[in-house]
Amino acid sequence: MSSKILIIGACGQIGSELTYKLREIHGDDNVIASDISYNNLGIVNSGIFEIIDAMDYKSILVCVEKHKIDTIYLMAAMLSATGEKYPMKAWDLNMTSLFHVLDLAKAKFIKKVFWPSSIAVFGPSTPKENTPQYTTMEPTTVYGITKQVGERWCEYYNEKYDVDVRSIRYPGIISWKTLPGGGTTDYAVEIYHKALEESKYECFLSEKTALPMLFMDDAIKATVDIMEAKPEAIKIRSSYNLSGISFTPEEIALSIQKHIPDFKMSYNPDFRQKIADSWPKSIDDTQAREQWNWKHSFDLEAITKEMLTQLKATKK
């Protein structure tokens, strides 16, 4: 019998592409997209869509029972930059929604949970290069705190209540279909839009700020792969380090200039610089590679080529 999946936060950057991919794999009728409002018509039109407030346990439960859901992907969250503007809202949304979904699994309404963590779990005292899976973690953003605490709760629910929860520490995700919102790594998507529209971009991070990044296709593949892996393969029930590539704003600008020679980059770092400076520059993801065969495909040159080609086609 095919799995019945609910995606909470399906209109966001990762949620939307995950919805398309899971519908391709499991069929439109088996993947229910949901969000707090109808703000992504593509998702709404391609299959079943429900309005769900991730903070409201009842609204999730009603949908789970109505569609006989067995698996939830909880993609709703407030990201790092917006979280610093609204710390208590970020705490409330990120923690309350996680407890709702973990509790549904604990009560056996559902069987499996995917919950995204982030490189934001790390902080200034974490080793910056090749950051290991197990290391000092003292996050300084509210978003990072919610992700670190969330990881502890995921592991706790797995150990105490046998909840099958799986998680990845996403780096910055680069995609062309849906814009990211409220993150510190968002510049790496905005830059491609501005390069095509105006041949220039003012970056809110400084030129030498290296951060771990991943192309959306790789991020979706990792998400699908970890959820399809046998439970015995998933030895880490907090969250897995996941690495693709790392680059600086200066390096992404250079890769764009190979396609758009008159592209100009300027730098005007704002409050997001401090957040970026607290995060790793590169990630060691040995456990994900060894335990469930994770492997990325896209390097910076391939990402730039794909982003410019796809965006050019959509902007025509």
Query: Which residues are tagged catalytic?
Result: 143
- The reply to whether 76 sits near ligand AKB by the rule CB under 6 A is no
Least distance CB 147 / ligand AKB (angstroms): 8
CA angle 250, 256, 262 (to 5 degrees): 95
Backbone angles phi, psi at 296, to 5 degrees: -90, 160
Nearer CB in complex with ligand AKB: 118/178: 118
Considering only 19, 94, 178, 184, the residue that binds ligand AKB (CB under 6 A) is 184
Query: Which of the ranges 90-98, 170-178, 297-305, 308-316 carries the binding residues for ligand AKB, by CB under 6 A?
Result: 170-178
Count the residues in the chain. 316
Question: CB atoms < 10 A from the CB of 279, how many?
Answer: 30
Stated as kind and residue range, the H or E segment containing 286 is: helix 286-292
Total site size for ligand AKB, rule CB under 6 A: 12
Do residues 99 and 156 lie in contact, with contact meaning Cβ atoms separated by under 8 Å? no
Residue type, 5: I
Decide: helix, strand or coil at residue 86: coil
- The reply to whether 120 sits near ligand AKB by the rule CB under 6 A is yes
First to last CA, the chain: 42
- The reply to whether 119 sits near ligand AKB by the rule CB under 6 A is yes
Considering only 12, 183, 249, 280, the residue that binds ligand AKB (CB under 6 A) is 183
Considering only 16, 80, 126, 238, the residue that binds ligand AKB (CB under 6 A) is 80
Determine the Cα–Cα distance for residues 238 and 218; give it in Å rounded to an integer. Answer: 21
Encoded tokens for 73:
């992907």
Nearer CB in complex with ligand AKB: 69/120: 120
Query: Which of the ranges 55-63, 85-93, 164-172, 234-242 carries the binding residues for ligand AKB, by CB under 6 A?
Result: 164-172
Q: Which residues are near ligand AKB by CB under 6 A?
A: 79-80, 118-120, 143, 170-172, 183-185
